[in-house]
Structure 1
Amino acid sequence: MRMIEIHNHLNKIWGEIFELNEVLREKLRPLGFKVEPVEEVFNAYIFLEGEWREMLYPHPAFEIKPQGEVGATIQSFYFVFAIPKEKITREFVVEFLKKFPQSYIYGTENFLEDIYNHNTPRNPDEVYGEIEKSQEQVFQFEVEAKDSQDIENKLLEFIELAKRYETLEI
């Protein structure tokens, strides 16, 4: 990749995240969420070439309180929500994976060990079984998208799903 391509790509993702932050602040407030300002996030990981790799460089992201984050990496836009194990049902997992096949599910303690990874998908019943037998108390449900509009649409779908299954603390 040439330097100008890197520069343009970073400007694109940062610019879109700042815009998305403003849009979601207005859309999510009536639903009971608080959207925090965009920050530089360090100590993150990205799934590249079949493995999780540490990002020593920052990427843009913002919190959606309670339980969520929206951001962008060099690879994709994403959102992730932390859900307590006791609130996760088989039906929620089945519907989540059906609606969001481009996703990851992992624990908060052993976050580099995927329970679900869209690069090597598993049957929803198997995924739920892994959640049930895990020692993890909180699981991350992460969804990827190609651009900020797509992640906004998926986020709103996720919120609707999560509210129906009462997995969020709002």
Structure 2
Amino acid sequence: MNVREIHDFLNRMWGGIFGLNEELRTELPEGFQVEPVEEVFNAYIFLDGEWRRMSYPHPAFEIKPQIEVGATPESHYLVVAVPRERISENFVGLFLEVFPRGFIYGSEDFLNDVYNWRRDGKVSPTEILERISESNEGIFQFEANFGSVSALRQGIRRVIDLGRRFEIFEF
């Protein structure tokens, strides 16, 4: 283990999220509010084919309403919370098309995902919608992963556009 590399990596990860947070405060459309960066504990990361608990913190912040943005050692991410009644087959299909590195899971039983890009491959939006309808969850988390802060920034804009189009946001 090279401590210098770990140190530099963590500084880039946290610094990128702090910088994005500051920039988004003046860039997002009306109705969206960027909250301060926080340390998130007890999150999970998908490694080696399973969800694993992270005992260490990672940086994240909310964009109200309904979006979380952050970074883990594996990727940069955004998560948008969508009430079950606002989820349509077209929304699911476009989300997967726009964000090919995605996960969909419930807000309560988040370790049992209904879609996982690393495991499920090309599952149809119809099949994902069936999994959602069979669940007892009221809110589903639509997560997208990115390889960089700039890709994450673009993803935030795209999820806001997609969310407005399908009226998933509760203003």
What does 1:111-130 align with in structure 2 at a 5 Å threshold?
111-120=110-119, 121=121, 122-130=123-131
Deviation of 1:132 after TM superposition, in Å, equals 1.6
Deviation of 1:68 after TM superposition, in Å, equals 1.2
Count residues with an aligned counterpart: 169
User: What residue is the counterpart of 2:58 in the other structure?
Assistant: 59
CA distance in 2, matches of 1:136, 1:18: 32
Superposed CA RMSD: 0.9
CA distance in 2, matches of 1:31, 1:104: 27
Sequence identity (%): 53
User: What residue is the counterpart of 1:137 in the other structure?
Assistant: 138
SS at match of 1:69: strand
User: What residue is the counterpart of 2:11 in the other structure?
Assistant: 11
User: What residue is the counterpart of 1:95 in the other structure?
Assistant: 94
What does 1:21-100 align with in structure 2 at a 5 Å threshold?
21-28=21-28, 30-100=29-99
Deviation of 1:31 after TM superposition, in Å, equals 2.8
Which 5+ residue runs of structure 1 have no aligned equivalent?
none
Deviation of 1:123 after TM superposition, in Å, equals 2.0
Deviation of 1:13 after TM superposition, in Å, equals 0.5
One-letter amino acid matched to 2:101: Q
